[in-house]
Amino acid sequence: MRRWGGRTVLWAAAAVLAVSVTARAADDAADRFGSILATAKKNRATPAGAAYDEAFGRSMQAQLGMQMAKCFTRTPNPDLAMFDMLVRLDAQGKASEVLVRPETNVALCFKPRIGEATFPEPPQPSYWVHVEMEVTR
């Protein structure tokens, strides 16, 4: 009996550790998103960044506007909440990483489509762009 009690305590300690590790990972992800968001906003604050932001937006609308519309028809009960998207572009204008917050069902539907597009070449390689996505039908 005593042995079982010891295992219960061990399991409880393991569960607390797992919750702590999961919470820390979530905090790290939020910190990373915030840091990258700050970088993208700094990029946009430069004259070259402001010009690129306009070109990126036009290109995204032209290439992916219909893809966003398809996310509404493919996604049951589409969440119309605004979301932030961060896109890291390589020197050729291809997305090498895409982050979204919050991860709504529409955001998660649209996120992989970014990788299908080629955008104008950014001012520098590994360039972060911030897109505020307001979703309307």
pLDDT tens, residue by residue, 21-39: 445 556 677 799 999 999 9
Phi, psi dihedrals of residue 120, rounded to the nearest 5°: -55, 155
Q: Give the chain's residues under pLDDT 50.
A: 1-22
Residue 7: what pLDDT?
46
- Would you call 5 exposed, middle or buried from its count of C-beta atoms within 10 A (0-12, 13-18, 19+)? exposed
> Among 109, 16, 27, which Cα is nearest to 68's?
109
Model pTM?
0.78
Residue 128: what pLDDT?
98
Residue 72: what pLDDT?
85
Distance CA 86, CA 94 (A): 13
Angstrom distances, CA of residue 86 to CA of 22, 32, 46: 23, 11, 17
Q: Tokens for 122, please give them.
A: 């950014």
Residue 4: what pLDDT?
43
Residue 30: what pLDDT?
79
Residue 26: what pLDDT?
60
Residue 6: what pLDDT?
45
